[in-house]
Amino acid sequence: MSNMKKQYTENQKLSELVCANYNLLSVMSRFGLSLGFGEQTVRMACEKQHVDTYTFLAIANYMEKRTSFDEASDDSPERAISLETLIFYLQQAHIYFLDFNLPTIRRKLLDALDYSQSELAFLILKFYDEYVNEVRKHMAYEDKVVFKYVSSLLKGEKPENYHIGIFEEKHDQIAEKLSDLKSIITKYYPSHANIHQINSVLFDIYSCENDLNLHCDVEDNIFVPLVKKLEKELESEPEKRMQIVKNILHPNASNVSKGATTEATDEQYTLSEREKEIVSCVAKGYTNKEMADKLFISAHTVITHRRNIARKLQIHSPAGLTIYAIVNKLVEIQEIR
C-alpha cells in the first residue's frame, strides 16, 4: 500500500477506501457508516446515514498521513470539521476499546498463557487488568468532563471553571503500557506451548496500540485545536454564540517523530549489573529513596538508571519491570511485595 499523497475524496467509492486501507473499516463503523454500502460514493453513504462527509474524510485522510492537515487546510472556507460529529466518533471509539477490543484481548491472553507457570500468568493478567482500568478512567474523564464541556460550548455557553488547556496539559498517551506488555511477551515470555495463540494475541495488541495512538493523536491534533478555536470565538464575539456550531480547522498537527531507530548494539540494550539491581529493587517494591539508601547512591542516580532501563528494555512501568525481573530470574516470585 503506497502512502504517496493519498487523499480520499467524497466522490470515491467507499469500497475503494476499504480496499486501500482496511483499517478504515473501524473508522467507518465508529462514524456509524454500516456495511452493505454497495457501490455508493463516500458522499452518498455519508448523506444517507447522516454523517458529516467532511469530518469523516478528514479523519480518514489524517489516518493516512498524520501531518497533512496543517499545510493543506489553510484557506478554504468550506473545509470545516463538525465538532459534534468528531465527538460522536471519539465516544464510539471509547465504547469500542472498552467494551470490545480490550476485553477480547484479555480473553485471548487468558487462553494463550502457559499455566505451568501460573504465577507469571497471573502477573501478566494483573498487569493487563490494571492497564485496562487506567484506560477506563482516561476515557471516562473525556466522556464525562471534556466532551460535556465542549457540548456546552457548542450551545453557546462558556463554563467558567474549565478550559480545554486543562485537558491538553494532562492528556497522556495511553498506549504506552500496552507497548510494555508487548515487549514483555515478545522478548521475555518463555512460551513453550500455545505459540499460535500467543502470536495472535500479539497481533491484536499491536493493532490496538496503533489504534489507540491514532485516537490520541486525533484528540491532540484535531479535537483540541478545534475546541481552542471555538473558545476564542466565544470570547471575542459573544453575540454570535448561537451560530457557532462548526469551526474552520486549523490544527497544530505537531510532527512528533517517535522512536527514531538507531543501529542496535548489544551494549545499548543489555542491562548493567547495577541496572539489574535496580530492576530487582523495583520488583520488590522499593521507592527511589529506599533504593538510593540500599545501594549507597543518590536518588538522582537512581532516576538516571531507571530512565536508562526503560530505554533499553522498552518497559516503563514498575509492574512491567516486575514481570521482566521474574522472567529473567532477577528476583524470586516470593520476594515480591
Q: Name the site residues for Fe ion (rule: CB under 5 A).
A: 142, 219
Nearest to 212 by CA among 98, 78, 43: 98
- Residue number, 14 or 227, with CB nearest to Fe ion: 227
Q: Is 159 helix (H, G, I), strand (E, B) or coil?
A: coil
- Rounded least distance, CB 220 to Fe ion, Å: 8
Q: Which is nearer to Fe ion, 87 or 282 (CB)?
A: 87
Calpha distance 117→260 (Å, rounded): 36
Distant-in-sequence, close-in-space partners of 37: CB < 8 Å, separation ≥ 6: 14, 15, 45
Calpha distance 17→230 (Å, rounded): 31
Nearer to Fe ion, 52 or 219 (CB): 219
Find the DSSP H helices in 187-317. 195-218, 224-236, 266-269, 273-283, 288-295, 299-313
Least separation, in Å, of the C-beta of 91 and Fe ion?
A: 8
- Cα angle 195, 197, 198 (rounded to 5 degrees) comes to 65
The CB-of-51 to Fe ion minimum distance in angstroms stands at 19
Helix (H, G, I), strand (E, B) or coil at 9: coil
Nearest to 233 by CA among 220, 224, 243, 223: 243
Quick one: 83 or 302, whose CB is closer to Fe ion? Answer: 83
Comparing CB distances to Fe ion, the nearer of 98 and 336 is: 98
d(CA 119, CA 123): 6
In this structure, what DSSP letter does residue 41 have?
B
Q: Give least dist CB 141 to Fe ion, A.
A: 8
DSSP state of 79: -
Q: Which is nearer to Fe ion, 209 or 219 (CB)?
A: 219
Instruction: Report which secondary-structure segment, H or E, holds 164.
Output: helix 164-170
Closest distance between Fe ion and the C-beta of residue 56, in Å?
Answer: 18
Q: Quick one: which H or E segment has residue 3?
A: none
The answer to whether 61 and 68 have CB atoms below 8 angstroms apart is yes
Contacts of residue 200, defined as CB under 8 A and 6 or more positions apart, other chains included, come to: 108, 112
Residue 142 or 180 having the CB closest to Fe ion: 142
Check if the beta carbon of residue 283 is closer than 8 Å to that of residue 321.
Answer: yes
Minimum distance from CB of 219 to Fe ion (Å)? Answer: 5
Count of positions (residues) in the chain: 337
**Which residues, including other chains, have CB under 8 Å from residue 329's CB and lie 6 or more apart?**
none
Q: How far is the CB of 174 from Fe ion (least distance, A)?
A: 6
Shortest spacing between CB 139 and Fe ion, in angstroms: 5
Contact 79, 249 (CB under 8 A): yes
Min. distance of Cβ 146 from Fe ion in angstroms?
8
Smaller CB distance to Fe ion: residue 142 or 211? 142
Nearer to Fe ion, 215 or 306 (CB): 215
